[in-house]
Amino acid sequence: MKNLAFRWPSFAPYFQSSLRIVAAFLFIQPGMMILFGYPMPMPGGATLSLLSQMGIGGLLEVAGGALMLVGLFTRPVAFVLAGEMAVAYFQFHAPQGFWPVVNQGTPAVLFCFVWLYFSAVGAGPWSLDARRAP
């Protein structure tokens, strides 16, 4: 047990990559719902124009989420996605109330800070960025 406690910090880069992969997988899903009605249709069966604000958000979520999933161009993509989530929160959720749990903005806040974290630290060892580094 002492050996595991000593080695535990050495796993940090792999947990970093794992967090990026899981967060990206979860992030892609709302974008797919917006763009493709998959894995479930939009409420009321609504469809959106790709050039609407929600359509552009869906494109960012699918394309940016896919880049985050494989860890390619992680820092700039994560920075853009953090900004998208900040806009989503303050434009759509915050007007509904102060507390994120009340205005249903918890995922937007959490994704904003997760992507901001990755914009600073990068993708981790399990990524295309790590494979293409000199």
pLDDT digits (tens, 9 = 90+) for 33-56: 999 988 888 887 777 788 999 999
CA distance 24 to 34: 16
74-106 pLDDT, tens digit each: 999 999 999 999 999 999 999 999 999 999 999
Are 24 and 65 within 8 A, CB to CB? yes
The two three-digit tokens of residue 1, written as one number: 């047990």
Average pLDDT of the chain, as a whole number? 94
pLDDT at 33: 92
Centre a 10 Å sphere on the Cβ of residue 94 and count the other Cβ atoms it contains: 15
pLDDT at 1: 62
Q: Can you spell out the DSSP letters for 41-89?
A: PPGGG----TTSHHHHHHHIIIIIHHHHHHTSSHHHHHHHHHHHHHHHI
* pLDDT band with cut points at 50, 70 and 90 for residue 123: very high
Ranges of each domain in the chain: 18-123
